[in-house]
């Protein structure tokens, strides 16, 4: 024997099969979407939160006043950690480290094996601050010795076969073209979890980096640096007080720092991942924007699915309303009836949850690929609770309106089985359909705009040619003999041109304020080799490129148009700027993503750089790459060349947008599917309710087409109203999204037309199927049924 | 004798946008405990409206209505539901069984709303079904039964919680004469066992089962007579 609510649901299902399936499909796809988004969001929120000191763990950040407003950076001066430890008693632990993107992977050699791995330099407190459990070694001492190194378990296993065996072993390593050094393995850590914002393979003492760079032994407060400083406050220390103390620190230490408006502040370490963006010194979001956006989308899809339930439930109310009368006559209170209908909808939602879990399992592999996260549906209490909460919330939301609507009738009025028509009910039902379609149109416009912007990103002239450009970092002998290696690369068949550039071609540049004739301007610097402009197909608008025959080029620079315009330089070539001579002006090019405006930039010659760009002849790429591999192996035996195509690097800048585009497409599809299902159900009931009317009209000579129009007409108007509402709304929302791009596609009238027409077509197709069926029915049967 | 029903100038008006119809116009009547009263009159005279008001299925627009000695015309929805489930039983012309529930579940419903435990419910439902000779039909659905059987189920449902007042609205209207006779016999039995019965009918034949007849015309009581005065 089934429990009573389930029994009722089962009998209702038998009576209204199509409604049941429409509701089940709608609610379960809605819940499946919400569950997927929940998995994604909870993964996003788990980033950097696994450290034991989380809550007391902070990163020291710096604000700096510039002509363009306050700039916020995570980079701090070297030796800040030591100074803070001395001066701030509230601090329990503090460490300066090098950020992972700072170095290309190092070359490591041990036990006859050679490989590349990602390094990080850190102060001794690093393994106490962060919870990377040590399999070998103790956190407090493992980085004490300057010649120590700590490997990840995976790296230790690759080099020595196991973590235990690696202890005390010597590893030779090389930072780019620098000389070979040797460290002894002092510890092994379990590895960096996937949900860490930084991924690295081994840690070296920051002290050894300090020695190598011949940094001063005492902190210079005027210094500027790319180093990241992390601290943990003592338990009980007041973060707000400490924050205030930190903010006042620089101006007491350095007049120059005070003049530049530099202040330190700290932000919770775990917040960096989701709240990484600052505008004019204020945190403005970051990835959290997408977390919120997707949470909103999940909510909206559940609302759309719930609306189906509400509409179908109240539409079939005419059939159930008599039951309400009977139950009330038998003494059911309104609360009991509300309870009954809510139970029914919650049970329905729970049933949908079961189906949704199946759907999630089914699409999880694709969803994981799409989001770039290996997500899994695990039976953890949190996940189960979230699923149940979602289903319960949806059930209550979906059931609330029908429950209060149905239970509100006077029993005498409904006992005869006739539904008293209140104008308000019709309005509510129609309002819900309008809301549904408004959201659907919104999704369609979003899909169109996101895709248009992505197409724009592909189309936009970049000021360089990103096609057929290979990028790789050299190490070992190839790095030490950079010039010779590059010369040989250029001679290879299939290579058009080659050059090097610091840190790769794409990405933000180190910015410093520079002045010219009293005008100050923040200027980015790109360290480049000969032939970069030629390799990248960039255009000179004045002057010349760097060339080896001009000895003085080591003190020469090439600037971009933005710099010339920013300073208002009338005749830039030959001018002295920041102590260097301008030899050429390059046409503005997008060295950052289109989110960013092209900023003033200077190119400075530095032939020692290790990130190589090679322009290949199209058509024979594979053969050319094989030759490159061969050449590289000749310089560095046993190494393979890890290369990427610049085009792929370029696309990688828009990974988030591309994900949004794909997800928006899916969600829009689902929203429309669910809305259309609801409309289908509603149309069926309208046809049913007006069966007699249709019979009479046909008897009086109405054509089938006339009947179809009669039934589709009213619903058409609802969709039209939805379109009218959705268009301005979608404009506002998508304009906000577009504003995240400095270079964006212009709005086209057809974006709206396509979305509106699409929604209208879908609605028509859905409704007309029902309408045709109703119109073709034999009127005699309809009339006799009455 | 205690008063079961006492109405004083009871009024009910139906309004549409343009027309006001007085369905009941200053109806005053009393029904004593243990009576079997028939309310008669032509279609549209307000019989069913009166029964709906007496059953607290609808709200009066004026006058007072005392049930079991308490004034109910200002009762809240919750109070009316409470009184219905404890003290009133209903039998309708169109049976008004819930199609999705079995015979047993239909009869059980009032007990569920009273919060009676499962074991006691089962016992009481079986008892009343046996009395109505329906026990063998307990797992059938209403649509699998004949009209007479359906109405017997409805009567069983109306009396399963032993209400002091039973309201019947044309209980034989949808039945053949044999089944009608059957149902009227049941009502008489219940009345003899102490239940007050108020029955709306337009059949003179059915009205003869009652001990008193109240005649309505155009929303007003026009005649009250006891069986001896027929």
Cβ separation B82–A333 shorter than 8 A: yes
Q: Which of A11, A332, A411 sits opposite B113 (nearest CB)?
A: A332
CA distances from B128 to A73, A617, B107, B139 (A): 83, 95, 9, 15
> pLDDT tens across B113-147, in order?
888 999 999 999 999 999 888 999 999 998 899 98
Cβ separation A335–B78 shorter than 8 A: yes
Q: What does the pLDDT read at residue A589?
A: 94
Q: Which of B49, B96, B114 sits opposite A326 (nearest CB)?
A: B96
Which residue is closest to B95 within chain A, CA to CA? A326
Which residue is closest to B82 within chain A, CA to CA? A331
Cβ separation A327–B57 shorter than 8 A: no
State the residue range of the domain holding B187: 3-229
CA dihedral B49, B53, B59, B65 (to 10 degrees): 140
How near does any CA of chain B get to the CA of A307, in Å?
25
> pLDDT tens across B146-200, in order?
988 998 899 899 889 889 999 999 898 888 888 888 889 989 999 999 999 999 9
Q: Mean per-residue pLDDT for A630-637?
A: 86
**Which chain A positions have a beta carbon within 8 Å of B52's beta carbon?**
411-412
Cβ separation A329–B55 shorter than 8 A: yes
**Which chain B positions have a beta carbon within 8 Å of A15's beta carbon?**
99-100
Q: What does the pLDDT read at residue A658?
A: 84
**What's the rounded Cα separation, in Å, for the pair A155 and A136?**
13
**Which chain A positions have a beta carbon within 8 Å of B76's beta carbon?**
none
> pLDDT tens across B17-32, in order?
778 888 888 999 999 9
Cβ separation B84–A15 shorter than 8 A: no
How many Cβ pairs closer than 8 A exist between chain A and B? 73
How near does any CA of chain A get to the CA of B176, in Å?
21
- Flag whether residue B15 sits within 8 Å of chain A, measured between CB atoms: no
Q: What does the pLDDT read at residue B122?
A: 94
Q: Mean per-residue pLDDT for A149-178?
A: 89
Structural domain spans, chain A: 4-42+289-456+657-785, 57-269, 476-638
- What is the residue-averaged pLDDT of chain B? 88
Which residue is closest to A417 within chain B, CA to CA? B96
Cβ separation B109–A327 shorter than 8 A: yes
**Which chain B positions have a beta carbon within 8 Å of A330's beta carbon?**
84-85, 90, 109-110, 113, 157
**Which chain B positions have a beta carbon within 8 Å of A335's beta carbon?**
78
Pairing of strands B36-40, B88-91: unpaired
H-helix or E-strand spanning residue A163: helix A163-166
Tokens 């007042």 locate to B165
> pLDDT tens across A320-346, in order?
777 888 888 888 888 888 888 888 889
How near does any CA of chain A get to the CA of B225, in Å?
28
* Beta-sheet strands, E only, within A181-333: 181-189, 202-205, 228-233, 263-268, 277-279, 282-285
Listed in sequence order, the residues at least 6 apart from A56 whose beta carbon sits closer than 8 Å to its beta carbon are A92, A232, A233, A234, A235, A237
DSSP string across B39-104: EE-STTSSHHHHHHHHTTSS--SEEEEEETTEE-TT--HHHHHHHHHHHEEEE-TT----TTS-HH
A388 vs A294, higher pLDDT: A388
**What's the rounded Cα separation, in Å, for the pair A651 and A645?**
10
How near does any CA of chain A get to the CA of B228, in Å?
33
Q: Which of A15, A323, A331 sits opposite B81 (nearest CB)?
A: A331
How near does any CA of chain A get to the CA of B113, in Å?
6
Q: Mean per-residue pLDDT for A200-214?
A: 91
pTM, entire model = 0.79
**Which chain B positions have a beta carbon within 8 Å of A13's beta carbon?**
none
Model ipTM value: 0.79
Burial class (CB in 10 A: 0-12, 13-18, 19+), A424: exposed
Candidates A320, A323, A331, partner chain B, best to mutate (most B CBs within 10 A): A331
Cβ separation A331–B110 shorter than 8 A: yes
**What's the rounded Cα separation, in Å, for the pair B62 and B24?**
10
**What's the rounded Cα separation, in Å, for the pair A331 and A328?**
5
Report the CATH number at residue B67.
Answer: 3.40.50.300
In contact, A505 and A603? CB cutoff 8 Å: no
How near does any CA of chain B get to the CA of A421, in Å?
12
Cβ separation A330–B157 shorter than 8 A: yes
Which residue is closest to B102 within chain A, CA to CA? A11
Candidates B95, B113, B116, B143, partner chain A, best to mutate (most A CBs within 10 A): B113
- Flag whether residue B47 sits within 8 Å of chain A, measured between CB atoms: no
pLDDT at A416 exceeding the cut of 70 = no
| Domain count of the fold of chain B | 1
Q: Which of B59, B100, B113 sits opposite A330 (nearest CB)?
A: B113
**Which chain A positions have a beta carbon within 8 Å of B94's beta carbon?**
416-417
- Flag whether residue B118 sits within 8 Å of chain A, measured between CB atoms: no
Burial class (CB in 10 A: 0-12, 13-18, 19+), A259: exposed
**What's the rounded Cα separation, in Å, for the pair A634 and A628?**
10
Q: What does the pLDDT read at residue A786?
A: 41
Q: Which of B59, B78, B157 sits opposite A333 (nearest CB)?
A: B78
- Flag whether residue B96 sits within 8 Å of chain A, measured between CB atoms: yes
Q: What does the pLDDT read at residue A132?
A: 94
Q: What does the pLDDT read at residue A423?
A: 62
Q: What does the pLDDT read at residue A143?
A: 93
DSSP string across A53-82: TTTTEEEEEEEEEETTEEEEES-B-TTHHH
Cβ separation B113–A335 shorter than 8 A: no
Lowest mean pLDDT among A164-168, A687-691, B179-183: A687-691
pLDDT band at B228 (very low <50, low <70, confident <90, very high): very low
Q: What does the pLDDT read at residue B229?
A: 46
SS (H, E, C) A475-542: CHHHHHCHHHHHHHHHHCCCEEEEEEECCCCCCCCEEEEEEECCEEEEEEEEEECCCHHHHHCCCEEE
Q: What does the pLDDT read at residue A783?
A: 62
Which residue is closest to B84 within chain A, CA to CA? A331
pLDDT at B7 exceeding the cut of 50 = yes
Q: What does the pLDDT read at residue A539?
A: 93
**Under the phi-then-psi rule, with left for phi > 0, alpha for psi from -120 to 50, and beta for the rest, what region is B89?**
beta
How near does any CA of chain A get to the CA of B79, in Å?
9
pLDDT at A600 exceeding the cut of 60 = yes
Cβ separation A326–B110 shorter than 8 A: no
**Which chain A positions have a beta carbon within 8 Å of B59's beta carbon?**
410
């Amino acid at each position: 024997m089934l429990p009573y609510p389930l029994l009722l649901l089962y009998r209702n299902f038998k009576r209204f099969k199509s409604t049941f399936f429409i509701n089940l499909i709608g609610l379960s796809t809605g819940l499946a979407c919400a569950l997927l988004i929940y998995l994604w969001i909870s993964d996003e929120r788990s980033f950097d939160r696994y450290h034991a000191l989380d809550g007391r763990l902070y990163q020291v950040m710096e604000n700096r006043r510039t002509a363009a407003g306050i700039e916020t950076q995570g980079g701090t001066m070297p030796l800040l950690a030591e100074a803070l430890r001395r001066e701030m008693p509230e601090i329990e632990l503090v460490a300066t480290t090098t950020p992972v993107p700072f170095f290309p992977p190092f070359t490591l050699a041990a036990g006859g094996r050679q490989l590349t791995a990602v390094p990080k330099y850190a102060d001794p407190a690093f393994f106490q601050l962060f919870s990377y459990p040590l399999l070998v070694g103790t956190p407090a001492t493992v980085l004490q010795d300057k010649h120590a190194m700590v490997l990840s378990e995976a790296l230790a296993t690759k080099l020595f076969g196991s973590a235990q065996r690696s202890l005390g072993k010597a590893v030779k390593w090389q930072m780019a073209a620098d000389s070979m050094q040797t460290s002894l393995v002092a510890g092994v850590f379990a590895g960096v979890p996937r949900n860490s914002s930084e991924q690295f393979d081994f840690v070296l003492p920051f002290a050894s980096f300090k020695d190598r760079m011949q940094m001063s032994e005492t902190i210079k407060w005027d210094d500027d640096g790319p180093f990241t400083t992390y601290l943990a406050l003592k338990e009980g220390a007041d973060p707000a007080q400490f924050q205030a103390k930190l903010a006042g620190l620089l101006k007491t230490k350095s007049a120059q720092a005070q003049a530049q408006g530099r202040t330190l502040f700290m932000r919770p370490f775990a917040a960096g991942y989701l709240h990484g963006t600052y505008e004019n010194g204020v945190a403005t979001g970051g990835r959290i924007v997408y977390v919120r956006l997707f949470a909103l989308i999940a909510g909206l899809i559940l609302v759309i699915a719930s609306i189906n339930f509400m509409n179908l439930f109240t539409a079939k109310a005419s059939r159930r309303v008599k039951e309400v009368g009977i139950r009330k006559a038998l003494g059911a209170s309104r609360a009991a009836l509300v309870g009954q209908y809510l139970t029914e909808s919650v049970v329905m939602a729970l049933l949908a949850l079961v189906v949704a879990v199946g759907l999630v399992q089914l699409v999880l592999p694709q969803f994981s690929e799409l989001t770039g996260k290996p997500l899994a549906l695990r039976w953890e209490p949190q996940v189960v609770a979230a699923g149940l909460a979602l289903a319960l919330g949806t059930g209550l939301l979906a059931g609330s309106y029908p429950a209060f609507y149905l239970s509100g009738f006077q029993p005498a009025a409904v006992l005869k089985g006739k539904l008293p028509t209140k104008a308000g009910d019709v309005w509510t039902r129609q309002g819900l359909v309008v809301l549904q379609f408004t959201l659907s149109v919104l999704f369609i416009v979003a899909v169109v705009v996101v895709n248009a912007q992505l197409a724009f990103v592909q189309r936009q002239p970049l000021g360089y040619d990103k096609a057929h450009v290979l990028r790789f970092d050299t190490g070992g002998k190839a790095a030490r003999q950079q010039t010779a290696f590059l010369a040989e690369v250029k001679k290879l068949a299939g290579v058009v041109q080659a050059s090097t550039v610091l840190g790769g071609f794409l990405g933000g540049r180190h910015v410093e304020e520079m002045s010219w004739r009293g005008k100050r301007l923040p200027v980015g610097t790109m360290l480049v080799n000969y032939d970069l402009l030629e390799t990248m197909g960039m255009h000179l608008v004045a002057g010349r490129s760097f060339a080896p025959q001009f000895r003085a080029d080591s003190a020469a620079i090439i600037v971009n148009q933005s710099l010339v315009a920013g300073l208002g330089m009338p005749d830039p070539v030959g001018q002295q700027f920041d102590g260097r001579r301008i030899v050429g002006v390059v046409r503005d090019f997008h060295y950052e993503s289109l989110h960013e405006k092209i900023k003033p930039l200077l190119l400075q010659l530095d032939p020692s750089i290790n990130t190589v760009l090679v322009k290949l002849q199209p058509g024979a790429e594979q053969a050319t790459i094989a030759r490159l591999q061969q050449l590289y192996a000749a310089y560095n035996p046993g190494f393979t060349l890890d290369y990427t195509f610049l085009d792929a690097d370029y696309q990688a800048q828009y990974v988030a947008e591309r994900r949004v585009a794909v997800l928006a497409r899916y969600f829009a599809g689902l929203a429309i599917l669910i809305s259309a299902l609801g409309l289908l159900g509603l149309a069926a009931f309208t046809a049913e309710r007006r069966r007699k009317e249709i019979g009479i009209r046909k008897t009086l000579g109405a054509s089938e087409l006339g009947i179809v129009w009669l039934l589709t007409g009213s619903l058409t108007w609802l969709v039209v109203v939805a379109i009218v509402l959705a268009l301005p709304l979608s404009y506002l929302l998508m304009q906000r999204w577009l504003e995240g791009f400095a270079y964006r596609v212009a709005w086209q009238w057809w974006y709206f037309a396509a979305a509106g027409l699409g929604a209208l077509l879908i609605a028509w197709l859905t409704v007309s199927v029902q309408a045709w069926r109703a119109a073709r029915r034999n009127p005699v049967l309809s009339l006799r049924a009455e | 004798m205690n008063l079961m029903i006492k109405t004083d100038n009871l009024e009910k008006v139906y309004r549409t946008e343009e027309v006001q119809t007085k369905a009941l116009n200053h109806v005053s009547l009393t029904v004593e405990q243990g009576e079997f009263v028939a309310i008669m009159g032509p279609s549209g005279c307000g019989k069913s409206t009166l029964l709906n008001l007496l059953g607290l299925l609808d709200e009066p627009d004026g006058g007072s209505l005392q049930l079991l000695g308490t004034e109910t015309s200002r009762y809240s929805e919750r109070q009316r539901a409470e009184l219905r489930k404890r003290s009133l039983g209903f039998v309708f012309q169109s049976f008004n069984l819930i199609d999705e529930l079995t015979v047993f579940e239909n009869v059980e419903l009032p007990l569920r709303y009273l919060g009676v435990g499962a074991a006691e419910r089962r016992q009481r439902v079986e008892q009343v079904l046996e009395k109505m000779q329906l026990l063998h039909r307990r797992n059938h659905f209403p649509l699998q039964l004949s009209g007479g059987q359906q109405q017997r189920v409805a009567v069983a449902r109306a009396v399963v919680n032993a209400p002091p007042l039973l309201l019947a609205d044309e209980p034989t209207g949808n039945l053949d004469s044999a089944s009608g006779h059957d149902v009227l016999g049941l009502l008489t039995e219940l009345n003899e066992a102490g239940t007050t019965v108020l029955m709306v009918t337009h059949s003179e034949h059915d009205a003869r089962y009652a001990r008193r007849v109240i005649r309505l015309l155009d929303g007003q009581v026009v005649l009250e007579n006891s069986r001896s005065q027929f």
